[in-house]
Amino acid sequence: MVHKRHKVRTEPKIIARGEPRYRARKGIRRIARKTPGGRVVIHYVKKSPGKPKCAICGAVLHGLKRGTPKQIKSLSKTERTIQRPFGGMLCSSCTRDVLKLRVRLANGLIKPEEIPLSLKQYVIGG
Please write the tens of the pLDDT for every residue from 21-31: 776 777 888 88
The domain ranges of the chain are 1-47, 49-126
Phi, psi angle pair for 31, to nearest 5°: -125, 130
- pLDDT for residue 30: 87
Q: Mapping DSSP to helix (H, G, I), strand (E, B) and coil, where does residue 114 land?
A: helix
What is the pLDDT, as a whole number, of residue 28? 84
The pLDDT score that the predictor gives to residue 8 is: 60
| 40 vs 27, more confident | 40
Q: Which amino acid is at 8?
A: V
Q: What is the mean pLDDT of residues 107-126?
A: 89
Query: Which are the contacts of 43, defined by CB distance < 8 A and separation ≥ 6?
Result: 30, 31, 32, 33
Q: What is the pLDDT of residue 68?
A: 87
pLDDT for 125 equals 79
* Rama region for 86: left / alpha / beta (φ>0; ψ in -120 to 50; rest): left
- How do residues 57-111 score in pLDDT, each as one tens digit? 999 999 999 988 899 999 999 888 999 999 999 999 999 999 999 999 999 999 9
Answer whether residue 55 shows pLDDT above 80: yes
Residue pair 30/44 in contact (Cβ under 8 Å)? The answer is: yes
How many angstroms separate the CA atoms of 69 and 98, rounded? 27
Checking if the pLDDT of 56 tops 90, the result is yes
Give the integer Cα–Cα distance in Å for 123 and 12. 61
According to the model, what pLDDT value does residue 105 have? 94
